[in-house]
Chain A
């Protein structure tokens, strides 16, 4: 058959595409369970990192089972919702709902310095979503630890939110001010006037990501507000 005829070219292309699609689809299906497991372990590692517990890929599962004593889902009124698995809640889907309908996961971790509450967050950076876990002391205002991650922020700039030095800055900050208003933590530039208990140093060149992070924390702590108030009193 003539290799340069149109018919040959079309048939060749069609057969090739179908073959390749079949191969790739079966490979993706075969590897899916392992990949899901990896994502799950990473989430455990991130949750543990937010209460300043280091874990490796191998140990994360065991440490998680040992340290995270309790996990539950609450609604916007701060009431516990039965029959939901906090670990399985997809924040991306929840944030698409209106604030009253959101399901909000809470994790409790027992540490040497008392009970910590871990709150997952999700927001927008410059190029894509950013997310993280922030843990509070049982006074429900002092930040005990934070862990942030991102999908596609610029390395060296916005991507710095996932580095240790930036996350460490949040330790000890207060999310409620003296008169009990929820003001969260702001990310500021050097020289900017901001109350010390409620602000951290921003990232040079990462302003939009920093602002996104600030927005994310304020917004998400706000949806937990009823729960925080209840526990506070």
Chain B
């Protein structure tokens, strides 16, 4: 291999999805899970890490298989790879972080349907070598995860007054204790996640001129 492992081109695979081609805010993929699991920071983080694990491995596996996969069943092969990885992740979560796996319940299974993963397999891993595919997978999962974590942070802070389950807003601030503050119950509900994502898109586009369409 003549190219260094972290050449400019490869690093771009990692950094691009964080901003210019972010799967959530630019390509608007994977929204469903981004709305569903982000009521608190902890499940958001676990979801981000799970998707990263699935995506990194799925991209590498498909990339390794890319010269053997029969063209007519390639989508099925991709699905089988993703689905088995997801089941593995689910089993590991159930064994080691049971409470989180209960909270994520059905959403772990829904990683399978996360269109970012299928999209990257079809668009990138099928035509590239394993290492760039791995970086592409990690990069896109990171781009997805960053948004999840920002949204999860905002929703938990304003919705429950805590971060990672630790109370941040002092107890004495609450109206119930004679203060002036009340948690915003709306933040707990999925619609506010959509609005939060909308705000992120707004901020991102006003900062990044490249994304503004005429």
Footprint of B on A, CB under 8 Å?
3-4, 8-9, 12-13, 16-17, 20, 23-24, 27-28, 31, 34-35, 38-39, 41-42, 57, 152, 156
Contact = CB atoms under 8 A, between A and B. Distances in A.
Nearest to A20: B84
Nearest to A34: B95
Contacts of B92: 31
A145 B77 CA distance: 51
Contacts of B106: 152
Interface residues of B, number: 22
Is the contact region of chain B dominated by helix, strand, or loop, or is it mixed? helix
15 contacts: A3-B68, A3-B71, A9-B70, A12-B73, A13-B73, A20-B80, A20-B84, A23-B84, A24-B87, A28-B91, A35-B94, A35-B95, A38-B94, A41-B98, A152-B106
B189 A156 contact: yes
B95 A31 contact: yes
Contacts, number: 53
A53 B91 CA distance: 30
A52 B36 CA distance: 30
A34 B91 CA distance: 10
Interface of B: 68-73, 76-77, 80, 84, 87-88, 91-92, 94-96, 98-99, 102, 106, 189
A55 B70 CA distance: 54
A90 to B, nearest CB: 19
A13 B68 CA distance: 11
Contacts of A28: 91
A185 to B, nearest CB: 27
A39 B95 CA distance: 10
Given A34-B96, A35-B95, A35-B98, 18 more contacts: A3-B68, A3-B71, A4-B71, A4-B72, A12-B68, A12-B77, A13-B76, A17-B80, A20-B80, A23-B88, A27-B88, A31-B91, A31-B94, A34-B95, A38-B98, A42-B98, A152-B106, A156-B189
